[in-house]
Structure 1
């Protein structure tokens, strides 16, 4: 078996299923150990139901993840009592069964249960009808007349045997049996879970982790792969030259430090060679041919674990296993916020639109002309300029065109005027103009106060769809990141269009780090938007 294990080692296979006779398992595991394929990096699943009966002292200290199954619960009190009683009875007859109760094999237990099942079926058959006996020849086609009845009685029997609960369905298959999931630890074979047809697989994770997994990192040095990304992993600012782990700081660095304290291991932080998070490399047919970034270093064994603001997705899950995420986030658009422009010389005109200013000016001129015309026609506006002369040759009218304009302008400015209309008609026009100016001045004052105190900023984009509909603002994401892959592989129309744009303008819009993406947004003055994780 050594050549096979050497091939598996060369291919860096770490998950192996061993399906063979139980008597060969010990030799196979020994040869796997000899070629270095029985270490902490390998995981074995053994299909034999008699794995518990083997002598595993040579393998239980290697910390290899070996999982097996067992039908017979040899730790069950009733099973132990039955086997001990059986062994004592055979010893009285001078027969040594040759095994310890805890090494009871599945075939032996099934044979024992089969005899009891047959006896129970014959008993019920005998109670139900008269059983006839006749000799049969195996070479002939004759059958026992009570054979089918015995078969049906045996299907109805339900009992607790050495192999657990014995019960059959209508087709004669055994149902409601339970398999125990075993794990090899330093103390021997240990039950870590169960499987049944009805309940499925149930694992007691605490037993497996506490008994075996936790001590595996004790006093070991592991390599942690990461990339620079604020505020998760950053270079520490210092006036002195720093080396090793001391040159890094950030959330991920603190997280690894706390893990090392709890699990008692040492670590070395290593930046990924290509500086990317990692994704699959595919050929023209879409098949995975390699990986890059942190993922590649973990798969190749350059690093033991990878840490960072690494998004868990289906693509990466095909290459590595992830822990429970320590942050759930989403994609956001980083875009420079519109800034308030400094007030200009004509900012006082901003509270009202140009149309309103035009119509108000026209109303001012029109009201002044109406007032002037009525003052010309009404006799009550013509007065004696010389009070000492009772019948002067000329009368004077104060509401000249210039005075009418001045009168209306004064009321518009809320300053009043010494000139006042005297006739009813002119006073009516003046009153309507005053009411108009009251409304306009109140509206202008309110809008001016709001304009000066409230900053009205209108962003040109509010969603990813807005970016997809325009061409003025460029947009991109982290090169080789999960955000970029999301757009490149999306089937949704607007997102697919954006993915095509990013792919076509890769050199102009894609950046190698989040920091460069932020700087590009700041330098673009509103001409570039960057997709990144919300918390980043």
Structure 2
């Protein structure tokens, strides 16, 4: 029979087991901040409080958090991590410092303790709630390609940038001016960019650097409509941009937290209320703070706690409490299972949809935002699946009522730009044409006035190979004597390296045009066209010579002489059939292949007749063939088949517009 004391001891052991299982210990590491807590710390504490009050999530569990403050000393950081592990934490929430996070991740990996991070750089064996850097890189690349930036500057701060610059620069086909900056060098770099006429700038720095940069932009008066600043920070809405709203400067960024979402607004109100309640109970320790503005790191920390809680929800009845130390390096028996369950979490938090693959976040949504006169507005979004989607192109490009006047240059070329004559036209009324209509439409859509005038040297623009200087409209744009140029200007690689082009409104190539030979009018002697005039003369001369030769040979040959009355033996009168006229008749009849009533009898005359007959056969056959071809098809010879043929010949004159792309091509 069991004694009373034994029963009491068993009851105490059972009570201890249940109590210990109902509490889940977690640890968090935050940077040391004097007098007040950081926003991620506030979000962490509120998330733990919210999970504990949500009975549908972990009804039988309570999260107990232990917060440690760390500096830049990695040795002290490791000591505090080991203290948390000996305390019995079942998960660690790492800081954003990549160097310290590496040390923490190494310890957690050896002991199979879940390491949940919110930093931009992911650790190999951790679970990172921050979107993957590979996807972030691609998001910014897609926007820059959409904006068609061919020349821009990049400001980055060491160990604080979100981009992988090496991969980023290899993926962008543009002229990049990359500068590393610190708190004291922003003004110098901005002045350099302004001097070099670099108007598009990508800024990859931390929050403190952005505040300094915004002040320096105002000092340098670089807050005009010509400038476009693209920030990699997800917290642009938390900065004071009041001085930039009315100067039409272009400021663009992504955000991870949709501040207009109703659910987000409710959570922000709860965070503010929870924080004020804690401060009232602890005013001696923490300085009173303003309402919580949810920064991206704070939102990520809130989501990290919930990701852990959802992963824990499915496994906690089977989970054994860890009893670990950094000295033994014996891994936690249930740690890998918990890590796998956390990796399988799919949830929508403050930072949007969340899904992991091998510890990396692969599902999220970035809102593309742009500063307008009234506020910051959403103009598009980017997701890993669909990439960039500009949902409001009119808001993205519409600058509103800018009330600016642009200097626009052009060149006359029908039908693109033409000039009106005959009346006293002035100003922009002097010009009309296809390009002028496009310019007028754009000015109404974007909202600007313009002054249209002809380029002084009447040239499109070409680079002098000796001096390296440009002329024409290109030079006017490079020297900022004009803001825009409109016309039928060909987009070439050389021009695109110094000026920016819009999308082409027409695609054309270089064509060679020349007049088709016209048919000659019908003439009386057109039958002679199949043979050259020289051949006709030779035939005529041969005809006369052969006729005279036959006549002379017939006179000399006794065989050609015959009696006029062959039946009358006593009649001695003889004659020759080849008189001068009959000789010519015989020759022409042979040439016409018709024959005649006379024929040669002597050997000599027959040989001459045979030669003439063979000659006639060749001439008639050649004439017949040429005549058939001449009458059937108008033969046309193309002396020019390509550009090389045109450049190598001298008979046909040709020319191009001076300082144009065609002239550069032939040069």
TM-score, normalising length from structure 1? 0.69
C-alpha distance in 2 between matches for 1:368 and 1:358: 15
Q: Show CA shifts across 1:364-401 (max 9, x none).
A: 8658867997997879975349x9x9953203343335
Question: Which residue in the other structure is 2:597 paired with?
Answer: 420
Q: Show CA shifts across 1:314-352 (max 9, x none).
A: 222222221222222111346677788999999875421
1:304 offset after TM fit, Å? 1.4
1:119 aligned to which of 309, 317, 320 = 309
1:66 offset after TM fit, Å? 0.7
How do 1:334-345 residues align onto structure 2 when only pairs under 5 Å count? none
- Kept in 1: contact 2:561–2:575 (CA 8 A): no
1:108 aligned to which of 298, 306, 314 = 298
1:158 aligned to which of 339, 346, 349 = 346
How do 1:51-90 residues align onto structure 2 when only pairs under 5 Å count? 51-83=236-268
C-alpha distance in 1 between matches for 2:332 and 2:588: 126
CA separation of 1:379/1:466 partners in 2, compared to 1, >3 Å: closer, same or farther?
closer
**Which runs of 5 or more structure 1 residues have no equivalent in the other structure?**
488-498, 500-536
1:448 offset after TM fit, Å? 6.6
1:275 matched to 2:458? The reply is yes
CA separation of 1:345/1:327 partners in 2, compared to 1, >3 Å: closer, same or farther?
same
- Kept in 2: contact 1:281–1:290 (CA 8 A): yes
C-alpha distance in 1 between matches for 2:195 and 2:614: 96
- Kept in 1: contact 2:381–2:389 (CA 8 A): yes
- Kept in 1: contact 2:546–2:612 (CA 8 A): no
May I ask how many residue pairs the two structures share in their alignment? 469
1:167 is paired with a residue of what secondary structure? strand
C-alpha distance in 1 between matches for 2:441 and 2:274: 60
Question: Which residue in the other structure is 1:36 paired with?
Answer: 221
1:465 is paired with a residue of what secondary structure? helix
Q: Show CA shifts across 1:197-254 (max 9, x none).
A: 44433333xx14x22533557654321112344554455443x665544554554445
Question: Which residue in the other structure is 1:510 paired with?
Answer: none
1:174 matched to 2:355? The reply is no
C-alpha distance in 1 between matches for 2:204 and 2:233: 7
- Kept in 1: contact 2:324–2:332 (CA 8 A): no
CA separation of 1:262/1:134 partners in 2, compared to 1, >3 Å: closer, same or farther?
closer
2:644 aligned to which of 455, 465, 474 = 465
1:395 matched to 2:395? The reply is no
- Kept in 2: contact 1:279–1:293 (CA 8 A): yes
1:131 matched to 2:315? The reply is no
CA separation of 1:453/1:266 partners in 2, compared to 1, >3 Å: closer, same or farther?
farther
2:398 aligned to which of 209, 214, 217 = 214
2:244 is paired with a residue of what secondary structure? coil
1:145 offset after TM fit, Å? 1.9
C-alpha distance in 1 between matches for 2:618 and 2:541: 15
C-alpha distance in 1 between matches for 2:445 and 2:368: 28
1:223 matched to 2:418? The reply is no
- Kept in 1: contact 2:245–2:371 (CA 8 A): yes
CA separation of 1:115/1:473 partners in 2, compared to 1, >3 Å: closer, same or farther?
same
1:174 offset after TM fit, Å? 2.0
Question: Which residue in the other structure is 1:201 paired with?
Answer: 388
- Kept in 1: contact 2:560–2:577 (CA 8 A): no
- Kept in 2: contact 1:225–1:303 (CA 8 A): yes
How do 1:301-450 residues align onto structure 2 when only pairs under 5 Å count? 301-333=480-512, 349-353=528-532, 354=534, 358=538, 362=542, 382-384=563-565, 391-409=570-588, 420-421=597-598
Q: Show CA shifts across 1:12-49 (max 9, x none).
A: 33112233333664564354235421111110011111
C-alpha distance in 1 between matches for 2:493 and 2:407: 25
CA separation of 1:214/1:144 partners in 2, compared to 1, >3 Å: closer, same or farther?
same
1:201 is paired with a residue of what secondary structure? strand
1:310 offset after TM fit, Å? 0.8
- Kept in 1: contact 2:311–2:341 (CA 8 A): yes
1:422 offset after TM fit, Å? 8.0
2:339 is paired with a residue of what secondary structure? helix
2:372 aligned to which of 176, 185, 199 = 185
C-alpha distance in 2 between matches for 1:250 and 1:122: 70
**Which runs of 5 or more structure 2 residues have no equivalent in the other structure?**
1-185, 281-287
- Kept in 2: contact 1:186–1:212 (CA 8 A): no
What CA RMSD, in Å, does the superposition of the two structures yield over aligned residues? 4.9
- Kept in 2: contact 1:231–1:250 (CA 8 A): yes
Q: Show CA shifts across 1:76-105 (max 9, x none).
A: 4444455556666777878799547xx532
C-alpha distance in 1 between matches for 2:601 and 2:264: 121
C-alpha distance in 2 between matches for 1:300 and 1:330: 29
1:473 offset after TM fit, Å? 6.8
C-alpha distance in 2 between matches for 1:122 and 1:242: 79
Question: Which residue in the other structure is 1:49 paired with?
Answer: 234
C-alpha distance in 2 between matches for 1:404 and 1:105: 120
CA separation of 1:183/1:141 partners in 2, compared to 1, >3 Å: closer, same or farther?
farther
1:302 is paired with a residue of what secondary structure? coil
- Kept in 2: contact 1:87–1:97 (CA 8 A): no
C-alpha distance in 2 between matches for 1:152 and 1:320: 53
